[in-house]
Chains A and B, each alone.
Chain A
């Protein structure tokens, strides 16, 4: 409130000072009224009104440019507050074309804030960015580079790549730095497109400007994470840089809170941790400088602790060195600021953290407890965890903590009873958040027992499970997963110990389906359970009387919409009519653990088949022979061929050469003829070519089918899980130390309150004793941490390795399956086939009514097929419907066979058929849009 008053006062006094003079009164009023809005609804109203007026005014003709700039800023404001200002995007794009830096910068700012990298307008900005990257004014170049980082997507990278690479050698360090970052971004978006430029990063590492060097560490960190071994040679350079940083050789401007360039230090330490991990020789170089940093770090400031933490992570990740480990341990205790000998205080600190009001601390504590769980303290810890799990609402964390409870219980359970009780609790409270696998594990565990050959113990386990489940069934609202487990166990073992009668259990199972609003899966489990119990009864020679509720359940299910439920109901009815011996062999008692051997060849049918054939039946023809496999592979290769020529071209269109000499090399066709100097031209060409060569491969792999294209978009938005899976390779010791730092930061505060009440104290001590064991202290905690550290290290070392091993293989396969990318694919549309002929003449010939003889025939058929194919590509319907007609098949074949041939034998024909491409162009124009191949949604919208 106070602040709002200040705003009002200052505005009334007009004391905005120098900074705010740029804006008009309207804008100030807008901001002010937003500031005074008392509710979100009021704020929304104001913004909606503002958007309406902007929509009107921005479309007026001849808006002065300064005014337009303000409109754009107001749009940014509206968008920032969560409203849609998409009508103004195009104006922001237009503003980037402006010559004045001020307007251009505003345009770029708005565009980077408005557009996501897959927006359709991006293509309109690429040209501006290209132009600005060539500007003499380094500030314009900077603005363009910043925009490029945000906006340039996988498809448009080739358009700006050569210029960005050139800028790496720009005289201004700010430009070099941004160029490095832009290149890094490109690498993140599409590693293949810049893979040939990675050496540039190494070069920039030696840049004179520490800012550029610091920026280079970001891409190098990513590269090293992906592939450690290729960068081992850089260890010495990194170490010497770190040494210089630590010795304060960098300019004073990089100091931060009396630390020498801490952010650079942190990045270097992260890199060294990767490089030194599991490598004795590399680690040998690192020890010295790490020791220095340990000595110089002070733990009085946040940033000092940040560096120290990174140091400790590094020490624990590289090849172990006793001295450094000691130093790390000492620093940890320095961080803790508590005498490490007094282990009990740590324990109490941990207990305190469990009751801390700060949720973050609680979670960290549970993380710590999870790591130090042993069979002696598992009961206390899991109980605490479950209590905490019940108390929170955050589903994400609930899932995590539930899975941890399950894991600990499976690993350390002291008794079967306890295990089942714990699992019951977890299921009851976390419910469907628990992984299905866990439920299956529980069922298997109950069925198999704990692996001992003690039948008595197993049956005891089962009956205790049955008892507890019968009790739990009385409670309202059980999660479906838990009900499934209950049904299964009751069906399998409900009557096993003879304590409960079959009708009692069946009655309970019927209740399950009625009382709990359950889904089909639970119903299926329940009816199967009833079937099993009936079967056991019949097999035992007892008569099964049908309860009325059971009968009504069967009736209901046999009329169910779910065919699965129906089948189960009918099976049960059929089973009830069978003879006891037959029933016993259909559903034997306690046979859930027995393996069922499936005869895949159906050999028991052989005699029947033989008989039938003898009687004159036709033999079976395998599916593959019936349909002709080979057409499929051809079909896909055709698609790859087609889409690879869809990439956009960003170079200026070449001037048509009236009559090039036949001796002129083929290459000159696609080079830019606007360049007058021949030598740089070729270098430009080769570089560009490398990039373009990679581009089609990528496209072919990521864009060979319409449906798949759509998937790409989806993955982009939800691509997180895959990444997090690969990034979860952190050493667990890291987390642990992390936990400790938090704990002890608080233990300091809480110590005061700790000694207040003796009664509480002793209770806590008891809890501590149960957690840590009677005499357990630091001494016992430490070995677990060190044991875990190397384990985690091997994991980190291995996992990326696996990922690496997989990915090149796949890419190789991909490369093998896709046709070799044609060099001329990029310069697609009008690449002349025979340079001696005037291209225009040829064009006329193609369009004109007098076509050439055989080649044209061929291309006409292909283009005919291409037209529906193109449509199919974007409408998501598999093209097989049109092309699987048997008569069309032959044509398709011949066409398909021809097109790869033409590609593979460059002497016959280079590049795609001009007629073909013309036709395609025409189709595209007919559709109204250039098929970029990366924007399936757009096409879906257009084509319905």
Chain B
């Protein structure tokens, strides 16, 4: 029984160390969500770890907070010790309170401009029916919570390459599977 004690001391010490390590697994951007004016979720991307339950609360609280704000107020809200930047029908990005919110605001615009270019003057409908494509585009712009590419052209080129390859791949796999089925 006695030996329990020193063990626990050690336990506290190493818990501290692992806490120190894990605390680093946090991103510059914690999450991106897109909510409509009616509070419907259009896109969510979590870069810092959140449980499903936390996610729902985050969305509920934020949509309550942001949708009720008047049109002439600024694009930044403080929420639970974080800063949330939102713009243009509620692309919301959550960052730490001491990060540069103007930069984030422009990252949102950057994203919207790329969506614009891809869909041709993007509207909510495009995002509703093609949300997976919006995810692909977001993946080219932000990765692991950091801005990975600031050139619209590069992003557009990559997405186009993927799309075209998907198309050809579709045809190819179609023919290959046909061949296989015939051979069988």
The reply to whether A189 and B11 contact each other, CB–CB distance below 8 Å, is no
The reply to whether A174 and B158 contact each other, CB–CB distance below 8 Å, is yes
B16 proximity list for chain A (CB < 8 A): 810
Q: Which of B121-164 contact A (CB under 8 A)?
A: 124-126, 128-133, 135-136, 139, 143-144, 146-154, 158, 161-162
The reply to whether A77 and B131 contact each other, CB–CB distance below 8 Å, is yes
B133 proximity list for chain A (CB < 8 A): 19
A635 proximity list for chain B (CB < 8 A): 3, 7
Q: With A77-B131, A142-B158 in contact, is A305–B102 under 8 Å at CB?
A: yes
The reply to whether A358 and B73 contact each other, CB–CB distance below 8 Å, is yes
Most-contacted residue by chain A among B1, B51, B103, B119 (CB, 10 A) = B103
B95 CB to nearest A CB, Å = 11
Q: Chain B: which residue is nearest A363 at the CB level? A: B78
Q: With A263-B150, A715-B15 in contact, is A730–B80 under 8 Å at CB?
A: no
Q: Which of B28-53 contact A (CB under 8 A)?
A: 28, 36-37, 40-41, 43-45, 49, 51-52
The reply to whether B106 and A184 contact each other, CB–CB distance below 8 Å, is no
Q: With A101-B166, A253-B154, A715-B15 in contact, is A726–B146 under 8 Å at CB?
A: no
The reply to whether A302 and B102 contact each other, CB–CB distance below 8 Å, is yes
Q: Is A359 an interface residue (CB 8 A)?
A: yes
Q: Is A642 an interface residue (CB 8 A)?
A: no
The reply to whether B22 and A715 contact each other, CB–CB distance below 8 Å, is yes
The reply to whether B49 and A117 contact each other, CB–CB distance below 8 Å, is yes
The reply to whether A814 and B151 contact each other, CB–CB distance below 8 Å, is no
| Alpha-carbon distance A257/B136, docked complex (angstroms) | 24
Which residue from A101, A310, A723 sits with its C-beta under 8 Å from B165? Answer: A101
How many pairs, one residue from A and one from B, have CB atoms within 8 Å of each other in the complex?
Answer: 264
Q: With A99-B173, A702-B17 in contact, is A719–B23 under 8 Å at CB?
A: yes
Q: Is A867 an interface residue (CB 8 A)?
A: no
Q: Is B179 an interface residue (CB 8 A)?
A: no
The reply to whether A211 and B10 contact each other, CB–CB distance below 8 Å, is no
A707 proximity list for chain B (CB < 8 A): 11
Which residue from B14, B70, B96 sits with its C-beta under 8 Å from A357? Answer: B70
Q: Which of A1-37 contact B (CB under 8 A)?
A: 3, 6-7, 10, 16, 19-20, 23, 28, 31, 34-35
A303 proximity list for chain B (CB < 8 A): 102-103, 106
Q: With A139-B161, A306-B100, A701-B14 in contact, is A251–B20 under 8 Å at CB?
A: no
Q: Is A59 an interface residue (CB 8 A)?
A: no
Stretch at the interface among A281-289, A599-607, A623-631, A922-930: A623-631
Q: With A80-B43, A113-B135, A357-B70 in contact, is A726–B23 under 8 Å at CB?
A: yes
Q: Is B24 an interface residue (CB 8 A)?
A: yes
The reply to whether B7 and A178 contact each other, CB–CB distance below 8 Å, is no
B residues contacting the other copy or chain, number (CB 8 A): 89
Q: Which of A448-481 contact B (CB under 8 A)?
A: none
The reply to whether B17 and A814 contact each other, CB–CB distance below 8 Å, is yes
| Alpha-carbon distance A632/B2, docked complex (angstroms) | 9
Contact residues on A (Cβ < 8 Å of other chain), bracket = 35 or more
| Alpha-carbon distance A124/B7, docked complex (angstroms) | 35
Q: Is A240 an interface residue (CB 8 A)?
A: no
Q: Chain A: which residue is nearest B48 at the CB level? A: A720
| Alpha-carbon distance A497/B28, docked complex (angstroms) | 59
A102 proximity list for chain B (CB < 8 A): 166, 169-170
B49 proximity list for chain A (CB < 8 A): 116-117, 716-717
| Alpha-carbon distance A16/B125, docked complex (angstroms) | 9
The reply to whether A631 and B3 contact each other, CB–CB distance below 8 Å, is yes
A887 CB to nearest B CB, Å = 16
| Alpha-carbon distance A707/B27, docked complex (angstroms) | 28
A629 proximity list for chain B (CB < 8 A): 6
| Alpha-carbon distance A151/B45, docked complex (angstroms) | 14
Q: Is A748 an interface residue (CB 8 A)?
A: no
Most-contacted residue by chain A among B59, B96, B150, B162 (CB, 10 A) = B150
A749 proximity list for chain B (CB < 8 A): 72
The reply to whether A701 and B128 contact each other, CB–CB distance below 8 Å, is no
A636 proximity list for chain B (CB < 8 A): 7, 10
The reply to whether A149 and B14 contact each other, CB–CB distance below 8 Å, is no
Q: Is A776 an interface residue (CB 8 A)?
A: no
B65 CB to nearest A CB, Å = 9
Which residue from A77, A254, A359, A712 sits with its C-beta under 8 Å from B77? Answer: A359
Contact string against B for A residues 746-782, beta-carbon threshold 8 Å, 1 for contact and 0 otherwise: 0001000000000000000000000000000000000
The reply to whether A211 and B151 contact each other, CB–CB distance below 8 Å, is yes
A510 proximity list for chain B (CB < 8 A): none
B70 proximity list for chain A (CB < 8 A): 357-358
A306 proximity list for chain B (CB < 8 A): 100, 102-103, 105-106
Q: Chain A: which residue is nearest B126 at the CB level? A: A19
Q: Is A745 an interface residue (CB 8 A)?
A: yes
| Alpha-carbon distance A263/B108, docked complex (angstroms) | 12
A728 proximity list for chain B (CB < 8 A): 98
| Alpha-carbon distance A76/B42, docked complex (angstroms) | 11
Q: Is A218 an interface residue (CB 8 A)?
A: yes
The reply to whether A702 and B151 contact each other, CB–CB distance below 8 Å, is no
The reply to whether B128 and A35 contact each other, CB–CB distance below 8 Å, is yes
Q: Which of A578-607 contact B (CB under 8 A)?
A: none
| Alpha-carbon distance A636/B144, docked complex (angstroms) | 37
| Alpha-carbon distance A704/B18, docked complex (angstroms) | 11
The reply to whether B17 and A810 contact each other, CB–CB distance below 8 Å, is yes
A7 proximity list for chain B (CB < 8 A): 125, 128
The reply to whether B96 and A146 contact each other, CB–CB distance below 8 Å, is no
Q: Chain A: which residue is nearest B132 at the CB level? A: A73
A626 proximity list for chain B (CB < 8 A): 2
Q: Is B4 an interface residue (CB 8 A)?
A: yes
A722 proximity list for chain B (CB < 8 A): 19-20, 23
Q: Chain B: which residue is nearest A715 at the CB level? A: B19
Q: Is B88 an interface residue (CB 8 A)?
A: no
Q: With A82-B55, A82-B56, A705-B11 in contact, is A109–B162 under 8 Å at CB?
A: no
The reply to whether A80 and B18 contact each other, CB–CB distance below 8 Å, is no
Q: Which of A113-157 contact B (CB under 8 A)?
A: 113, 116-117, 137, 139, 142, 146, 149-150
| Alpha-carbon distance A177/B146, docked complex (angstroms) | 12
Q: With A358-B74, A636-B7 in contact, is A191–B154 under 8 Å at CB?
A: no
The reply to whether B132 and A719 contact each other, CB–CB distance below 8 Å, is no
The reply to whether B136 and A109 contact each other, CB–CB distance below 8 Å, is yes
A361 proximity list for chain B (CB < 8 A): 73-74
Which residue from A20, A82, A149 sits with its C-beta under 8 Å from B143? Answer: A149
| Alpha-carbon distance A263/B154, docked complex (angstroms) | 15
A77 proximity list for chain B (CB < 8 A): 131
B51 proximity list for chain A (CB < 8 A): 116, 717
The reply to whether B151 and A360 contact each other, CB–CB distance below 8 Å, is no
A302 proximity list for chain B (CB < 8 A): 102, 105-106, 109
- Known interface pairs A20-B129, A723-B26, A728-B98; 14 further A-B residue pairs with C-beta atoms within 8 A, sorted by A's residue number: A102-B169, A105-B166, A139-B161, A146-B139, A211-B149, A211-B150, A211-B151, A214-B150, A263-B107, A302-B106, A310-B100, A360-B78, A705-B10, A807-B20
9 of the cross-chain contacts (CB-CB < 8 Å) are A16-B129, A73-B132, A80-B41, A142-B162, A191-B21, A211-B150, A702-B18, A717-B49, A722-B23
Closest 9 CB pairs of A and B: A306-B102, A253-B153, A723-B23, A627-B2, A263-B150, A358-B73, A102-B166, A253-B151, A730-B98
Binding site for B on A (CB under 8 A): 3, 6-7, 10, 16, 19-20, 23, 28, 31, 34-35, 43, 73, 76-77, 80-82, 84, 99-102, 105-106, 109, 113, 116-117, 137, 139, 142, 146, 149-150, 174, 177-178, 181-182, 184-185, 188-191, 210-211, 214-215, 218, 251, 253-254, 256-257, 261-264, 266, 302-303, 305-306, 309-310, 357-361, 363, 396-397, 623, 626-627, 629, 631-632, 635-636, 701-702, 704-705, 707-708, 711-712, 715-717, 719-720, 722-724, 726-728, 730, 734-735, 742, 745, 749, 807, 810-811, 814, 878, 880, 884
Binding site for A on B (CB under 8 A): 1-4, 6-7, 10-11, 13-28, 36-37, 40-41, 43-45, 49, 51-52, 55-56, 59, 69-70, 72-74, 76-78, 80-81, 96, 98, 100, 102-103, 105-107, 109-110, 119, 124-126, 128-133, 135-136, 139, 143-144, 146-154, 158, 161-162, 165-166, 169-170, 173
